[in-house]
Amino acid sequence: MDFSIGELSRQTGVKVPTIRYYEKEGLIDAPLRTEGNQRRYQETDRERLRFIRHCRDLGLPMPAVRDLIELSQHPDRPCDEADRIAAEQLRSVRERILHLKKLEAELERIAVSCQGDHTVTECNVLKAFGDHGQCLSNH
């Protein structure tokens, strides 16, 4: 019926201290307790935690997760806000990809610049790391 924090952790992949942290932060509700003061969770808690976990895995920033939870508490509201958050995250992921591709290009150039046996003094890799002027883009 209900389960312990360790069981919840196993079922969701969220570590025990992290679950307690989320509770302190108000992301999940404080659950019922046994007589001995141990937490006992219900299925709704598990769903909530999986929701958080999945959002985090998808790279959503914490405030966005908070907003989505807030939103899901109000079933009658329009869900534009959820759309907006998803779209914004998509935008941000794409931006990061572009940035990393620039880095990839620079690192590729740097990594192949020093083939073979050299000493540090004549190492083009070290030179390239020191000199942004050699770069193809403003990464």
Partner DNA sequence: CTAATTCCTATAGCGACTAGAGCTTCAAGA
Partner DNA sequence: TCTTGAAGCTCTAGTCGCTATAGGAATTAG
Binding site for DNA (CB under 7 A): 4-7, 9, 15-18, 20-21, 34-39, 56, 61-62
The option from a second copy, DNA, none interacting with 50 (CB < 5 to 8 A, set by class) reads: a second copy
Cβ at position 27, least distance to DNA in Å: 8
The option from a second copy, DNA, none interacting with 39 (CB < 5 to 8 A, set by class) reads: DNA
Residues constituting the chain: 139
Judged by CB under 8 A, which of 4, 22, 42, 51 binds a second copy? 51
- Asked whether the beta carbons of 45 and 4 are under 8 A apart, the reply is no
Residue keyed to tokens 């939103």: 71
The answer to whether the Cα torsion of 90, 96, 102, 108 is positive or negative is negative
Judged by CB under 8 A, which of 34, 44, 72, 137 binds a second copy? 72
Residue keyed to tokens 């952790």: 9
- Rounded-to-10 torsion of CA 108, 111, 115, 118: 160
Distance (Å, whole) CA 41 – CA 51: 15
The option from a second copy, DNA, none interacting with 56 (CB < 5 to 8 A, set by class) reads: DNA
- Rounded-to-10 torsion of CA 85, 87, 93, 95: -120
Q: Which residues bind a second copy (CB under 8 A)?
A: 47, 50-51, 54-55, 57-60, 68, 71-72, 74-79, 82-83, 85-87, 89-90, 93-94, 96-97, 100-101, 103-104, 106-108, 110-111, 114, 117-121, 123, 125-126, 129-132, 139
